[in-house]
Amino acid sequence: MIIDKYNIRAEKINSLLCVGLDPDLEKLPEKFKALKHPQFEFNKYIIEETHEYVSAYKPNMGSYEVRGKDGWEDLAMTMEYLREKHPDIFTICDAKRGDIGYTNELYAKAIFDILGFDAVTLHPYLGKEALKPFLDRKDKVSIILCRTSNLGAGELQDLKIDGKQLWQIVAEKISKEWNINHNCMLVVGATYPEELGEIRKIVGELTLLVPGIGTQGGSVKEVMNKGMNVNKMGLIMSSSKAIIFSPNPKEEARKLRDEIRQHSLV
Amino acid sequence: MIIDKYNIRAEKINSLLCVGLDPDLEKLPEKFKALKHPQFEFNKYIIEETHEYVSAYKPNMGSYEVRGKDGWEDLAMTMEYLREKHPDIFTICDAKRGDIGYTNELYAKAIFDILGFDAVTLHPYLGKEALKPFLDRKDKVSIILCRTSNLGAGELQDLKIDGKQLWQIVAEKISKEWNINHNCMLVVGATYPEELGEIRKIVGELTLLVPGIGTQGGSVKEVMNKGMNVNKMGLIMSSSKAIIFSPNPKEEARKLRDEIRQHSLV
């Protein structure tokens, strides 16, 4: 199963760390800005500094799309580089896509087949039927938004349906109805540890992608305590800017890997 | 106000027609496939055939992203062409984006400033706070998914919160709380005319982007009867494949314009 790709890597190097490759051009060191492929060259540098601690890389599409076709090219080159040099590291396209079925077929082709990602993040609003082109891909992972990390996440996600909040319904649907090909994960923000704990109870052993540690302020300890599954796994702990824009990405990645590891030994 | 751009054009040519520029490469006539910029050349042909009947063009991102950087280039060229030749036609980026605020800033820049669209389609799941970078843009339109046209749209959208369905809550929030800059529209599928009528009652004069006529099977008559606002406006009637892949796009666009016009004269 495709989900094993992440688990095998995570067990092998004993790390649940995911690094977000979000190389916003304005924030890059000057020496990279001057290059022909600034985002690719920066990513290559980050990957070489951090890969020994990393089980997943997660580029966010927004960082590349803002550069138009040049950004797409740098992203495609990054993916090619990862497949060649580090084929055992799990790759997540943080694109938050979600359209009707016909268009989702095109997005699935673009992200899984052209760019070659293992996984993509998706919106649940159009329902399972619309997401079929992603969910049918047994060789790829659909990571569906459940409880997001932003401050105003609750505006819709906390609405109550027969005593259950919308994010609870979404978690139930994904784990019981949408995951028939054993290829679903959920996005749950580190900034809402209580909800994270509830979602863990609903979804059993399913893996949760957890953004929001680092600059967004989520606590590693709380996330680990509430979010791990029975195998002390089931989490992809994602940090982006706090690592890639630090003066020493390697040291920052190692520190976070260690902090995560420490709480998985409880 | 930016919304006037659409209304002025629609009144001037007496047409509520929007054509979806979704030039899937596989479906293009052979003579276009052989060109260096097949999607741009095809779009140019469609625009020149149909523009006299059209108040809005709506490229869907999926059709372009599946070609990677080449697709982005063709889309950028299409937008440049539209701005130069037909600056009074409203342009909608059907991208269905929606991330946390920081990333939405990048998407807004990519879609509004780099590509130069007037409007973008958005997911509501992360709430108003996350969409701020779009909603704050008084010079651009945010078109938010409310009731989508797909068969399984109801799975989440019909969930009941204190007697109201989720799409009703979304419609209320957009019209009462998210539209403070008078730059919001809603996506409502033509395939659900009853819900369309209810949404019209909730949102007053707000404009609804209505996909799903044409190949998806929505009825123009029903949509017009239930969807028009008090000014006999307030609708963007969108058709894609039925027009652009017909043997005679000009005639097909004229026919649909006439059918829409006929029902607006009731």
Average pLDDT over residues B246-262: 97
What was the pLDDT predicted at A1?
84
Instruction: Compute the Cα dihedral for B20, B23, B27, B31 and give only its sign.
Output: positive
Q: Which residues of A touch B103 (CB under 8 A)?
A: 60, 62-63
Q: Which of B73, B107, B173 sits opposite A62 (nearest CB)?
A: B107
Strand A184-188 to A141-147 pairing? parallel
Answer yes or no: is pLDDT of B102 > 80: yes
What was the pLDDT predicted at A266?
52
Q: Which residues of A touch B67 (CB under 8 A)?
A: 114
Query: What are the start-end ranges of the E strands in B42-140?
Result: 56-57, 90-97, 119-122
Q: Do A127 and B162 touch (CB under 8 A)?
A: no
Could you give the ipTM of this predicted complex? Answer: 0.97
Q: Which candidate in B96, B132, B164, B241 is catalytic?
A: B96
Q: Which of B100, B130, B153 sits opposite A126 (nearest CB)?
A: B153
This model's pTM is above 0.90: yes
Tokens standing for residue B63: 């059709």
Q: Under a CB-based contact definition with an 8 Å cutoff, are residues B101 and B133 in contact?
A: yes
Going from the C-alpha of B157 to that of each of A167, B146, B152, B154, B194, the distances in angstroms are 13, 8, 9, 5, 14
Tokens standing for residue B30: 């052979």
Q: List Cβ<8 Å contacts ≥24 apart for B244-250.
A: B244/B19, B244/B20, B244/B21, B244/B22, B244/B23, B244/B42, B244/B46, B245/B27, B249/B45, B249/B46, B249/B49, B249/B50, B250/B49, B250/B50
Q: Which residues of A touch B130 (CB under 8 A)?
A: 148, 150, 152-153
Tokens standing for residue A63: 């960082």
The Cα of B13 is separated from the nearest Cα of chain A by a number of Å equal to 30
- Tens of pLDDT along chain A (266 residues)? 888 999 999 999 999 999 999 999 999 999 999 999 999 999 999 999 999 999 999 999 999 999 999 999 999 999 999 999 999 999 999 999 999 999 999 999 999 999 999 999 999 999 999 999 999 999 999 999 999 999 999 999 999 999 999 999 999 999 999 999 999 999 999 999 999 999 999 999 999 999 988 777 778 999 999 999 999 999 999 999 999 999 999 999 999 999 999 998 65
For the CA atoms of A100, B198, B228, B181, the dihedral, rounded to the nearest 10 degrees, stands at: -80
Amino acid at B65: E
Gap between the Cα atoms of B146 and A125, Å rounded? 9
Angle between helices B166-173 and B193-203 (to 10 degrees): 30
Q: Do A128 and B161 touch (CB under 8 A)?
A: no
What was the pLDDT predicted at B1?
84
Tell me which DSSP letter residue A219 carries.
Answer: -
The Cα of A10 is separated from the nearest Cα of chain B by a number of Å equal to 27
Q: Which residues of A touch B161 (CB under 8 A)?
A: 159-161
List, as one string, the DSSP characters of B16-34. -EEE-----GGGS-HHHHT
What was the pLDDT predicted at B216?
75
What was the pLDDT predicted at B212?
85
Q: Which of A73, A106, A170 sits opposite B62 (nearest CB)?
A: A106
For B161-172, write each residue's pLDDT tens digit: 999 999 999 999
CATH of domain A3-264: 3.20.20.70
Q: Which of A72, A99, A169 sits opposite B96 (nearest CB)?
A: A99
What was the pLDDT predicted at A259?
96
Gap between the Cα atoms of B266 and B264, Å rounded? 6
Tokens standing for residue B57: 């063009």
- Among A189, A196, A179, smallest CA distance to A211 is for A189
Q: Do B157 and A68 touch (CB under 8 A)?
A: no
Q: Which residues of A touch B97 (CB under 8 A)?
A: 96
Q: A15-31 in b/e burial notation, b at 16+ Cβ within 10 A?
A: bbbbbbbbbbbeebeee
Going from the C-alpha of B190 to that of each of A36, A91, A139, A179, the distances in angstroms are 46, 37, 34, 30
What was the pLDDT predicted at B265?
67
Per-state percent for chain A, helix, strand, coil, to nearest 5: 50, 15, 35
List, as one string, the DSSP characters of A89-116. SEEEEEEEE---HHHHHHHHIIIIIIS-
Q: Do A155 and B129 touch (CB under 8 A)?
A: yes
Q: List Cβ<8 Å contacts ≥24 apart for B157-161.
A: B157/A125, B157/A127, B159/A161, B159/A166, B159/A169, B160/A161, B160/A162, B161/A159, B161/A160, B161/A161
Q: Under a CB-based contact definition with an 8 Å cutoff, are residues B249 and B50 in contact?
A: yes
How many residues are given for chain B?
266
What are the domain boundaries of chain B? Answer: 3-264
Q: Do A123 and B96 touch (CB under 8 A)?
A: yes
Q: What are phi and psi of B255, to 5 degrees?
A: -60, -45
User: A–B: how many Cβ contacts below 8 A?
Assistant: 166
Average pLDDT over residues B197-209: 98
Strand A17-19 to B208-210 pairing? unpaired
Q: Do B106 and A62 touch (CB under 8 A)?
A: yes
Which residue does chain A place closest to B212, by CA atoms? Answer: A100
SS3 state at B146 = strand
Answer yes or no: is pLDDT of B127 > 90: yes
Q: Which of B76, B127, B149 sits opposite A156 (nearest CB)?
A: B127
